[in-house]
Amino acid sequence: MQKSLPLNATTRILSQFDQDERLILYHGDTNELIKTIPDNFIKLIITSPPYNLGKAYEDRVSIEKYLEVQTETIEQLYRVLSPQGSICWQVGNFVEKGEVFPLDIYYYSIFKKLGLFLRNRIIWHFGHGLHTSKRFSGRYETILWFTKEKEYTFNLDPIRVPSKYPGKRHFKGPNKGKLSGNPQGKNPSDVWQELVTEWEGCFWEIPNVKSNHIEKTIHPCQFPVELVERCVLALTDENDWVFDPYAGVGSALIAAIKHNRRAVGSERDSTYVDLARERIDSFNDGTLRLRPLGKPIHKPSGREKVAQVPTEWSSSNQARLLEEKQEYK
Ligand SMILES: C[S@@+](CC[C@H](N)C(=O)[O-])C[C@H]1O[C@@H](n2cnc3c(N)ncnc32)[C@H](O)[C@@H]1O
């Protein structure tokens, strides 16, 4: 029987897995932690794995070697996943010499071979980012959501979003004239834009944008807590276990405990482990700043200075600027 937590109680952090506890942050290799978790135990595995992109925390290897190592870990994650459970695997592209390798396409076959069922390929769309010059600028990453079995937990009501046209009515049939929507809102769909806002800087490393997000730490690839919250609310029930095998600065763990779920994570970098602990402590004492779930995206009014065409680009100046460019070619 799983214990539930009294409201407003503080969740203490353990460093080794213990199924009678509520929050475990293991400092070390995820494969070592997974060995200590029982079969069919975790309701939601949600993670953004290392991307093989040569970030501070990873050594760049060939894509084949990378996927081989990931396959071994995923086989073990499958073992610990509960029969009603889900895996949400968030990835972007691996880019080598300008060639794009969409990681979700490679991962799809790994999960399919294990017999998992794809429920959504969620597009996480970003408004801004780096501008590439030899291909279209990338503006999304994906989350592959798989379930272990055909029966699985999916709670739509806690994650509904406001309808665009709440007053819409059926225009024919037996319900003609009656309201067609749900007063609690609509399904958020598989394109997640409302979660992006200022976040893109984290992926594209634009310093001024990066420093704008209230949750940002020094981690180069941190999840917004809000993104994990949606998965936690939809794919688990209270007191279920949520596991992030590549926990970074603990965003998934925070999203889980915020909604009275149990959380386990592993992270091998001690700086990130320390930061995750600090963030969890701040969450527990109510001082952690989080972007509220479902907060609307900032839409420029057009009056902001950055939203206006600069005087240097006015039509009279444009011809001169082009001429100058030609001179330097
Ligand atoms: C893409 S980041 C995840 C960030 C995380 N979602 C967050 O919100 O902070 C991947 C993390 O996995 C960690 N990592 C890489 N290989 C690992 C392994 N074998 N075991 C545990 N952690 C690992 C890296 O140090 C890095 O912090």
How do residues 99-136 score in pLDDT, each as one tens digit?
999 999 999 999 999 999 999 999 988 766 778 999 99
With a 6 Å cutoff on the Cβ, whether 66 touches ligand 1 is no
* 314 inside domain: no
Mean pLDDT of 208-213: 44
User: Where does the pLDDT of residue 216 fall: very low under 50, low under 70, confident under 90, or very high at 90 and above?
Assistant: confident
What digits encode the pLDDT tens for the residues 18-27? 999 999 999 9
Q: Is residue 85 in some structural domain?
A: yes
**Ligand 1: which atom is nearest the Cα of residue 51?**
1
Higher-confidence residue: 53 or 109?
109
Residue 260 CA, ligand 1 centroid: distance in Å = 23
Q: Whose CA is nearest to atom 9 of ligand 1?
A: 248
On the question of pLDDT at 319 being above 90, the answer is no
- Residues 203, 129 contacting (CB under 8 angstroms): yes
In a domain, 143, yes or no: yes
Asked if the structure places residue 176 within a domain, the reply is yes
- Within 10 Å of residue 182's Cβ, how many Cβ atoms? 13
Between 324 and 269, the more confident residue is 269
Q: Residue 29: CB within 6 Å of ligand 1?
A: yes
Q: Cα(46)–Cα(86) distance, rounded to whole angstroms?
A: 8
The reply to whether 211 falls in a domain is yes
- Residue 80 is part of which domain span? 23-302
Q: Beta strands 23-27 and 262-267: pairing type?
A: parallel
Establish if 312 belongs to a structural domain. Answer: no
* 321 domain-assigned: no
Number of domain units in the chain: 1
User: Quick one: pLDDT at residue 306?
Assistant: 59
Sheet of 262-267, strand order: 23-27, 262-267, 241-244, 42-47, 81-91, 140-147, 117-125, 191-192
Question: CB-side exposure of 38: number of CA atoms within 13 Å?
Answer: 9
236 close to ligand 1 (CB < 6 Angstrom): no
* Residue 197 pLDDT > 70: no
In this structure, is residue 46 part of a structural domain?
A: yes
Predicted structure pTM score: 0.85
CATH code at position 68: 3.40.50.150
- Tell whether ligand 1 has an atom less than 6 A from the beta carbon of residue 48: yes
Residue range 31-49, pLDDT digits in tens: 999 999 999 999 999 999 9
